[in-house]
Amino acid sequence: MKAQFPAAAIDIEAGPHRSEFAVVVDGSPVFSRLEQRRYPEVEEVVVLLREL
């Protein structure tokens, strides 16, 4: 991910739910494992971020 977006500040934070995984950009959710019921593929996240 850092190779695709070298200027991005990437953090990992624990969510309120044990199985939560989300990609959040500037406070806005881009992907939620709880909503999608799956983890995203790396390339999927790259595409989502490029669409912003």
Q: What is the pLDDT of residue 31?
A: 92
Residue 9, CA atoms < 13 Å, CB-side half-sphere:
4
Q: Encoding tokens for residue 7?
A: 């200027």
Q: What is the pLDDT of residue 27?
A: 83
One-letter amino acid of 6? P
The structure's pTM equals 0.72
By the 10 Å C-beta count (0-12 exposed, 13-18 middle, 19+ buried), 46 is classed as middle
Query: What average pLDDT does range 13-29 have in this prediction?
Result: 83
Q: Any idea what DSSP says for residue 52?
A: -
Q: What is the pLDDT of residue 52?
A: 85
Q: What is the pLDDT of residue 10?
A: 78
